[in-house]
Amino acid sequence: MRAGSNVKLCTKVLIRNQHTYQGSGVSYMPPKPENGATHSSLSPAQQAYLERVIRVDQAGELGADLIYAGQYLALSHNKKVKPIIKHMWEQEIHHRSTFNKLQSEHRVRPSILTPLWKAGAFGLGFATGFMNKEAAMACTEAVETVIGKHYNSQLRVLSNNFADLKDSNDKFSNSKEIEHLKGTIKVFRDQELEHLNTAIQNDSKNARPYWLLTETIKTVCKSAVFVAERI
């Protein structure tokens, strides 16, 4: 694929990423589904937690989608790495699409900082890919390390029926929606960890400066998770 074709592909991706939430995302409110997926048995704390899960995971998968888009563009000349990135990118597109649907079904507003996540994620992916293959893989290793732990933390809370939350409803009984969400997170967590292993197998630890690069990206990701859950 020529460079021009890759630019067109990534331009289409950016357009696709823009059409879902235009502007700042502040005024967006998905329509309530006809058979509204509600959780009347949830306490306010539990409902708030579920909304945070969907909001932050949608923002995270949006970011992952665009990181790989940036890497794919920057490394389009590398015939060995390009199909590897494309495979991981396609999985992230599916992850994002799934959380977009959940966000709409449960009427969860997107993160107010969605435009920032878009610009930052694509920039991070392109910058590390532009450096070299090893830097791109170190970026993937750092991001997927944080996301894997993040998903595990969510699964612990959901699997314990919210027992770890303050003001939790002791009488809560699991629902099909919660079981489906747990199953979705488990599958996506496993795929993120596959991406982590793929990055290591493709020389992520040979990036220079490895420690500074990965620890900086981890810190940025942790901060983004914290903010996206709340804003």
Interhelix angle 3-20/114-131, rounded to 10 degrees, is: 160
CB-neighbour burial class of residue 125 (10 A; exposed 0-12, middle 13-18, buried 19+): buried
Say whether 61 counts as a known binding-site residue: yes
134 marked ligand binding residue: no
Question: Residue 136 carries which side chain, given as an amino acid letter?
Answer: A
Q: Is the sign of the CA dihedral 137, 87, 76, 3 positive or negative?
A: negative
* 51 known ligand binder: no
Is residue 195 marked as binding? yes
3-state secondary structure 28-45: CCCCCCCCCCCCCCCCHH
**Phi-psi category of residue 167: left, alpha or beta, with phi > 0 → left and psi -120 to 50 → alpha:** left
Task: Determine contact, residues 176/170, Cβ cutoff 8 Å.
Answer: no
Annotated binding residue 229: no
Query: Within 13 Å, how many C-alpha atoms sit on residue 21's CB side?
Result: 26
144 is in an annotated binding site: yes
Q: Show binding-site residues for Fe cation.
A: 61, 92, 95, 144, 192, 195
Q: Show binding-site residues.
A: 61, 92, 95, 144, 192, 195
